[in-house]
């Protein structure tokens, strides 16, 4: 059954509280309730906290998965630096209403991460991808500025496997509430890739890494120029189709293509069937081969524009940049050499892809990994 992810409302507090209790597990809930009160008492207390605005369990900190009008799952979290302030209403309420003192409770998070407090899916709604969707939505909403963190009980390997498959990485061991835990974090990434596994894998392993292999140069140039008027995600999805059509990105072989190869490409399943672009890629391959003959390699040619340096522009951090003086200069030279579909915007994107320009956001883990090999440039 289909579901949609959306912010919680105060009216959903009783159901949200029930799911948070499922995430806590029965033993934990009984400990909070104490020997003189029931789980129903604790549920009523938690319901009130969910309905408030400034608590760790607040509906304002919660995303829901809805199947029609039915609440199927929830994820609740907050900025780690706010933990003690948001937890105080819980400490006050449990002491006042249940006679329990949790004022010395261990901190489960801290400043420097956005913390997932609770993730739960109704038992009859599981194995539908809801937990994964909630995690991805939470990361997309909060994971662009600081890591998203959580604690997972070492006795819950299925939950840990879900987090690792989503992209969380082990940061260390922890203890909370008498339980041995693992601290996992989802590293900060550039916002454009969040929520799509293929885009994230490309971002994490390729985008912005300096390229010096001739086939990779031709591959990225081909994909960038094919993307003109289309989406980059589509290019990533069709990469293996392009590899099949364009001779494993061997520019010399593509340069020798004739009419039969054009028609073969047009018949290939999954290929973008735009004849003018296919012919343009063949023409670009011929121009690519000429550049190699003149400079010894396309790699030497393209990196000559920056004297072999990867560039970082601090001014790009505060605004979206789609072209600059460098991309205009490279685009003009490529056009002069017979390349097509190489406007300054396409070439700017290409320079980002092959690592000539490092435009990862400063908070992104890849920015820090690539920075040592970069030169900081003032200006555009």
Q: Which of 224, 301, 303, 348 is catalytic?
A: 224
Q: Which of 202, 341, 348, 367 is catalytic?
A: 202
Of 76, 200, 74, 204, nearest to 142 by C-alpha is 76
Report the distance separating Cα 280 and Cα 30, nearest Å.
Answer: 69
Residues whose CB is less than 8 angstroms from the CB of residue 220 and which lie 6 or more positions away in sequence, other chains included: 211, 350, 353, 354
Tokens linked to 293: 């003959």
CA 211 to chain CA mean position, Å: 22
Q: Is 202 a catalytic residue?
A: yes
Residue with tokens 């199927």: 72
Report the distance separating Cα 222 and Cα 218, nearest Å.
Answer: 6
Of 335, 252, 257, nearest to 297 by C-alpha is 252
Q: Are 56 and 83 in contact (CB under 8 A)?
A: yes
Residues whose CB is less than 8 angstroms from the CB of residue 148 and which lie 6 or more positions away in sequence, other chains included: 77, 113, 114, 115, 116, 138, 139, 142, 168, 185, 186
Q: Is 113 a catalytic residue?
A: no
Report the distance separating Cα 83 and Cα 226, nearest Å.
Answer: 48
Report the distance separating Cα 354 and Cα 73, nearest Å.
Answer: 41
Q: Is 192 a catalytic residue?
A: no
Residue with tokens 């099949």: 244
Per DSSP (E only), the strands in 154-219 are: 169-176, 179-186
Per DSSP (E only), the strands in the chain are: 4-7, 62-67, 70-79, 114-121, 148-153, 169-176, 179-186, 310-312, 374-376
Handedness of CA 305, 306, 309, 312 (dihedral sign): negative
Q: Is 339 exposed, middle or buried (0-12, 13-18, 19+ CB in 10 A)?
A: buried
Q: Which residues are paired to 170 by β-bridges?
A: 184
Q: Which of 176, 192, 232, 313 is catalytic?
A: 232
- Count the helices and strands in the chain (H runs, E runs): 17, 9
Enumerate the H helices of 13-82 as residue ranges: 13-24, 26-33, 39-51
Of 191, 223, 233, 255, nearest to 354 by C-alpha is 223
Catalytic residue positions, numbered: 202, 224, 232
């Amino acid at each position: 059954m289909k579901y949609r992810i959306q912010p919680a409302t105060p009216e959903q507090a009783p159901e949200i509280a029930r799911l948070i209790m499922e995430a806590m597990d029965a033993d934990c809930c009984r400990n909070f309730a104490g020997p003189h009160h029931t789980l129903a008492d604790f549920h009523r207390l938690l319901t009130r906290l969910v309905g408030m605005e400034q608590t760790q369990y607040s509906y304002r900190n919660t995303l829901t998965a809805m199947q029609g009008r039915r609440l199927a799952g929830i994820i609740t979290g907050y900025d780690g630096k706010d933990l003690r302030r948001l937890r105080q209403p819980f400490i006050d309420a449990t002491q006042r209403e249940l006679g329990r003192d949790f004022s010395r409770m261990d901190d489960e998070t801290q400043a420097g991460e956005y913390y997932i407090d609770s993730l739960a899916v109704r038992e009859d709604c599981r194995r539908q991808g809801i937990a994964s969707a909630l995690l991805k939505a939470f990361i997309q909403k909060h994971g662009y500025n600081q890591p998203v963190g959580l604690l997972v009980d070492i006795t819950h390997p299925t939950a840990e496997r879900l987090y690792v498959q989503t992209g969380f990485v082990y940061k260390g061991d922890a203890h909370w509430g008498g339980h041995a835990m693992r601290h996992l974090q989802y590293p900060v990434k550039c916002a454009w890739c969040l929520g799509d596994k293929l885009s994230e894998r490309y971002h994490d392993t390729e985008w912005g890494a300096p390229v010096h292999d001739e086939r990779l140069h031709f591959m990225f140039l081909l994909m960038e120029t094919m993307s003109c008027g289309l989406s980059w995600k589509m290019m990533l999805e069709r990469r293996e189709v392009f590899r099949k059509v364009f001779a494993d990105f061997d520019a010399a072989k593509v340069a020798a293509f004739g009419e039969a190869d054009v028609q073969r490409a047009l018949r290939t399943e999954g290929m973008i069937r735009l004849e003018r672009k296919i012919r343009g890629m063949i023409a670009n391959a011929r121009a690519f081969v000429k550049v190699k003959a003149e400079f010894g390699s396309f790699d030497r040619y393209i990196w000559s524009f920056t004297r072999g340096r990867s560039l970082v522009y601090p001014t790009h951090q505060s605004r979206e940049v789609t072209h600059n003086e460098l991309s205009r200069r490279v685009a003009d030279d490529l056009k002069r050499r017979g390349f097509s579909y190489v406007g300054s915007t396409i070439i700017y994107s290409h320079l980002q892809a092959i690592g000539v320009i490092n435009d990862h956001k400063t908070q992104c883990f890849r920015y820090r990994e690539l920075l040592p090999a970069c030169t900081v440039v003032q200006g555009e």
